[in-house]
């Protein structure tokens, strides 16, 4: 009875069972390769192969894109090739829709911090015979720039205008989502009166890339295979655990033994769940002492605490579908909770996986989560300004079923776009979830899929899905915020068919994959600050064969599995 009673206080990520059962259905696998046509450009020393060559030829060629200035290489979860004026990226999953190749939105990315400048503000204007007005962005396109846009590819190639014409560095320019137009009066009357800015060169110079990616290729050798992920940096990534805990006092010794294991592994953060329904079962009735015990025990060992708050009580659900709980009630609760733990809890995560319907109030709606984020964040900043506010991590998925589960990437993009990026004002840290199903951390979809028997044909089955999520942050202007991967891991075999991929992960694999995941973050992902392994100790509170226990780094008796020993031995900086 003690275990069952204490289990009410456990971290409750049981919804992941639903998620993975929904994603288990196989899909058609579409893997393609570069070629067979290829052209060598001696001007810069790089090959361009299909489908990039086909796209280059059909959409303006040299005039629109310039020469290639890199080979094809892996970046931000996709295969890319840089040109002087553009960056091409490969989207095999969109090939049937005609979008196998897309251009990076270089114009938008280059001007993220200029949105408040006068030329980038939408204008109130009516179209006339000289100008077209685009309601999508609130900007005009006039004169020679309009002629060039209309005759050289239009929306498909350049995107919408995102500024007015204005003078920059002594030249008349206009920014578009994927380009910058420049007027060159010295070429008046020639086809070169309007030229495109070298945004591709600018983007390539702005970030580290593998040296081999920009080393000219030999014509005689022919086009090389795309270059895969490469180490670029070496920075520390904090080691942390998701920890399950007991709330009854007689079980506190088990909590303390678990926390001792955290320290012995050389990690210094834990993520636990504070379920609102248990902390305030009735309005104004607060039961904080079980959470007090685990928090105080962690701090006594020098362990920092991230508390994820979710699981609302029934009385706080007087809201329309799509809002996880009543925002006013949540804000009042968070005021009391954060004030009670001021100086003891280091970070508060506002909710867990709101892209799952059962976490989102029955209907998945980013605007509903934004209301809760606003309320919770304001309470934290009032009651404990030194505590961090962490955005909820989303459940990995590419499905779009608003009453079941919704694509984590699309959800994040929609959330961050609301009200001009309002969500970004309420968080100090971005939380992401990145699981690998049964696939090694160095594989990725679609260009390097795992050779596993299943659960390998969609991006959410790969650890490197995190790269696409981070790209969405950059696009939203939040690339400066640190990322905490608040859940990641690999499970071994369990007794549940919906988690069948665990059969392909041995205990040795689990250990190697976790260590390799930290290596990837340290050497390729400068934006990751901390990673919370899912999980340390679920096996101690579950029945035999439960899939959560298959992820646990400690066995049912609290003894280390090989993955725990590997994390303990891992270099932490």
**What DSSP designation does 180 have?**
E
Predicted pLDDT of residue 93: 80
Report the C-alpha gap between 13 and 430 in whole angstroms: 19
The pTM assigned to this predicted structure is: 0.91
CA atoms within 13 A on the CB side of 100: 17
**What DSSP designation does 317 have?**
-
Report the C-alpha gap between 271 and 347 in whole angstroms: 9
Whether residue 446 is preceded by a cis peptide bond, meaning omega within 30 degrees of 0, is: yes
The residue with tokens 């655990």 is 241
Query: CB-based burial of residue 253 (10 Å sphere; 0-12 exposed, 13-18 middle, 19+ buried)?
Result: exposed
Other C-beta atoms lying within 10 Å of the C-beta of residue 132: 15
Residue among 307, 306, 305, 302 nearest 263 (CA): 302
Report the length, in residues, of the chain: 573
pLDDT digits (tens, 9 = 90+) for 351-384: 999 999 999 999 999 999 999 999 999 999 999 9
Quick one: how far is CA 151 from the chain centroid? 37
Predicted pLDDT of residue 96: 84
Report the C-alpha gap between 119 and 132 in whole angstroms: 16
Quick one: how far is CA 67 from the chain centroid? 32
* pLDDT less than 70: residues of the chain: 1-35
Q: Are 83 and 203 in contact (CB under 8 A)?
A: no
Copy the structure tokens of residue 299.
Answer: 């701090």
Inter-axis angle of helices 327-340 and 366-383, nearest 10 = 30
Report the C-alpha gap between 82 and 67 in whole angstroms: 9
Predicted pLDDT of residue 33: 55
Other C-beta atoms lying within 10 Å of the C-beta of residue 414: 17
């Amino acid at each position: 009875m003690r275990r069952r009673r204490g289990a009410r206080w456990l971290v409750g990520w049981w919804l992941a069972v639903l998620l993975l059962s929904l994603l288990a259905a196989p899909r058609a696998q579409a893997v393609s390769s570069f070629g067979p046509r290829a052209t060598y450009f001696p001007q810069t020393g790089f090959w361009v192969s299909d489908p990039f060559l086909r796209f280059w030829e059909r959409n303006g060629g040299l005039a629109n894109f310039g020469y290639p200035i890199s080979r094809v290489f892996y970046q931000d979860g996709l295969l890319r090739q840089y040109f002087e004026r553009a960056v091409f990226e490969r989207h095999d999953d969109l090939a049937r829709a005609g979008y196998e190749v897309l251009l990076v939105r270089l114009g938008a990315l280059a001007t993220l911090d200029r949105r408040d400048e006068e030329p980038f503000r939408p204008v109130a204007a009516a179209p006339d015979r000289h100008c077209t007005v685009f309601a999508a962005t609130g900007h005009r396109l006039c004169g020679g720039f309009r002629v060039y846009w209309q005759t050289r590819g239009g929306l498909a190639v350049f995107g919408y205008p995102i500024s007015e014409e204005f003078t920059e560095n002594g030249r008349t320019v206009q920014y578009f989502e994927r380009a910058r137009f420049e007027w060159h009066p010295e070429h008046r009357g020639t086809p070169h009166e309007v030229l495109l800015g070298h945004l591709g060169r600018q983007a390539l110079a702005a970030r580290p890339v593998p040296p081999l990616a920009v080393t000219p290729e030999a014509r005689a050798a022919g086009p090389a295979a795309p270059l895969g992920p490469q180490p670029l940096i070496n920075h520390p990534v904090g080691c942390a655990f998701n920890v399950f805990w007991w709330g009854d006092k007689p079980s506190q010794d088990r909590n303390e033994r678990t926390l001792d294991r955290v320290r012995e592994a050389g990690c210094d953060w834990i993520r636990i769940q504070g379920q609102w329904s248990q902390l305030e079962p009735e309005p104004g009735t607060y039961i904080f002492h079980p959470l007090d015990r685990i928090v105080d025990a962690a701090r006594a060992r020098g362990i920092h605490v991230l508390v994820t708050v979710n699981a609302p009580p029934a009385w706080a659900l007087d809201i329309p579908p799509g809002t996880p709980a009543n925002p006013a009630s949540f804000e009042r609760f968070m005021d009391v909770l954060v004030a009670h733990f001021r100086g003891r809890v280091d970070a508060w995560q506002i909710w867990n996986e709101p892209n799952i319907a059962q976490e989102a109030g029955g209907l998945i709606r980013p605007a509903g989560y934004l209301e809760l984020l606003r309320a919770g964040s304001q309470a934290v900043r009032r009651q404990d300004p030194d505590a961090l506010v962490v955005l909820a991590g989303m459940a990995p998925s590419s499905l779009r079923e608003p009453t079941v589960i919704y694509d984590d990437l699309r959800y994040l993009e929609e959330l961050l776009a609301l009200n001009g990026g309002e969500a970004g004002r309420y968080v100090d840290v971005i939380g992401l979830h990145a699981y690998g199903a049964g696939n090694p951390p160095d594989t990725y979809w679609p260009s390097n899929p795992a050779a596993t028997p299943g659960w390998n044909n969609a991006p959410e089955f790969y650890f490197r899905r995190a790269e696409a999520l981070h790209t969405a942050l950059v696009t939203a202007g939040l690339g400066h915020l640190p990322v905490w991967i608040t859940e990641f891991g690999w499970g071994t075999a369990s007794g549940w068919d919906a988690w069948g991929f665990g059969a392909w992960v041995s205990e040795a694999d689990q250990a190697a994959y976790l260590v390799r995941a930290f290596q990837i973050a340290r050497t390729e992902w400068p934006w990751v600050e901390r990673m919370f392994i899912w999980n340390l100790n679920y096996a101690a509170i579950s029945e035999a064969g439960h899939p959560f226990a298959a992820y646990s780094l400690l066995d049912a008796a609290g003894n280390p599995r090989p993955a725990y020993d590997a994390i303990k031995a891992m270099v932490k900086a």
